[in-house]
Homo-oligomer: A and B are copies of this chain.
């Protein structure tokens, strides 16, 4: 699928752009290809730009100097992330990390162009506002989960969600993956998974977790 088609199909404001703006959108965006685990954007990145997922998926997370991580949300087909364009918006003072979870591709739209279009076209700004509100809601949901639910409950929810998503009871996932999803440490996750195993809820082996009666 080509870039122009994807931009037109994914961005509802594309019908409200004039010809000049449309041409600029096409010329100031590119298709990036990323390998599994590749960091597309981080605190140390220069201004990456707005990302539209074309294939594979991406994980957006925050990290501590200690290396601990917590996932904010994931991006699947046609999901759009403007946090990697935060440099264009002075009020987003918090930078996130964005990594490819498998071999993936995405359209990246230049941040300055995004800023320019949003300042001159209310439809573009409305789109950015909706995206920002979506992300605010998602981050509040993550905060609620991290604050009010026990790690036992959160691990259970996460494993069940992965099982539904992959349509399988056998999950190929490391304890470190789970720790990075939930903002915990590998040691704590391993301890709880062992407890789950003793209770007959799961079976744990190297790089795999089989759900039995969770």
A residues adjacent to B (C-beta < 8 A): 62, 64, 66, 68, 70, 72, 89, 91-94, 96, 118-119, 122, 125-126, 128-137, 139-144, 146-148, 183
A128 closest partner in B (C-beta): B129
Our pick among B125, B128, B133 for the contact of A92 (Cβ within 8 Å) is: B133
Give 6 closest A-B pairs by Cβ, nearest first: A91-B133, A147-B183, A64-B148, A94-B140, A94-B137, A93-B137
CA distance A129 to B135 in the complex (A): 12
A143 closest partner in B (C-beta): B143
A144 closest partner in B (C-beta): B62
Number of copies: 2
Across-interface contacts of A122 in B (CB, < 8 A): 119, 122, 125
A91 closest partner in B (C-beta): B133
Across-interface contacts of A140 in B (CB, < 8 A): 62, 72, 94, 96, 139
Q: Are B146 and A91 within 8 A (Cβ)?
A: no
CA distance A153 to B93 in the complex (A): 23
CA distance A126 to B122 in the complex (A): 9
Q: Are B141 and A94 within 8 A (Cβ)?
A: yes
CA distance A28 to B183 in the complex (A): 44
Q: Are B94 and A147 within 8 A (Cβ)?
A: no
Our pick among B72, B126, B132, B134 for the contact of A133 (Cβ within 8 Å) is: B132
Q: Are A92 and B137 within 8 A (Cβ)?
A: yes
Q: Are B64 and A144 within 8 A (Cβ)?
A: yes
Across-interface contacts of A70 in B (CB, < 8 A): 143, 147-148
